[in-house]
Structure 1
Amino acid sequence: MPFVTTVLAPVAIGLVYVTLMSLVPDRHRLRLNAVMVAGAGAAYLSGGGLGGWEFLFTVVATYVAYRGLDSWTFVGVAWLLHTAWDIAHHVKGNPIVPFAHDSSLGCAICDPVIALWCLAGGPSPRAMLGRRERRVPAEA
């Protein structure tokens, strides 16, 4: 397994995700990321190979993602849960992309990059660069 495709590409994908998501307006960024991680939580349902555990994980991931609608911490935790599930699939289950044997490993490397950004509060590019950011209040 070449280092570039196994490690660097997944890290780059995580950084691209973070960059693109950080451009989403602040008032929508948290909820969009909660929806994204909820979808990721169900990614293995169509054939992950871990039987009934797939349903249990999806229930837990959905609950944590739901809590993430109002909390960056929960969104970050949901991405870390997905990381653990990716590792389980790499070791014992089926890959997330059926024709790419190491896709679950790649996902397990990519997801913590996203989780760290979420646990930092999903900052915008301005905030990541240490510049003062004008906050737009969320609509009720």
Structure 2
Amino acid sequence: MNLSDIVTARLRTLVPVWWGLAVAWVLAQWPAVKDLLDSWGVDLNSTAVQLGVVGVVIAAWDYVWKRLEDHLPAWLTRLVIGSNQTPTYAPVDGAGVATITTLPADHLDVAPDVALDAEAPAPADDTTDEPTDGAAG
């Protein structure tokens, strides 16, 4: 995943959340919605209910627009979802396991003086289940 994919993925996550929050706020200002929820016995002063309603609105926004995105103009997709491109991910095999085919050198978590040699022996494992102070555990 390159920087462009990371930015695209973040946009496609955050923009629907922002829209969902805005829509939930607008709905909360509408007296008819308050009356409907009140008639169902929903306590709108409960933080849990408020978070639940906002979560449902965000999920609904994201679901609806991502299902419609193939039929929308690019400008509208960018507006409601954040990007009209989907990020690319590692290919997935038949078992559903992602296969990493390349890894940039700056992502390798090794010391610069360590050679990456397939023939090199594995480092010794110095971790044990024994306590280090000599006491029986």
Q: TM-score, normalised by structure 1?
A: 0.28
Q: TM-score, normalised by structure 2?
A: 0.28
Which structure's residues are more often helix, by fraction?
1
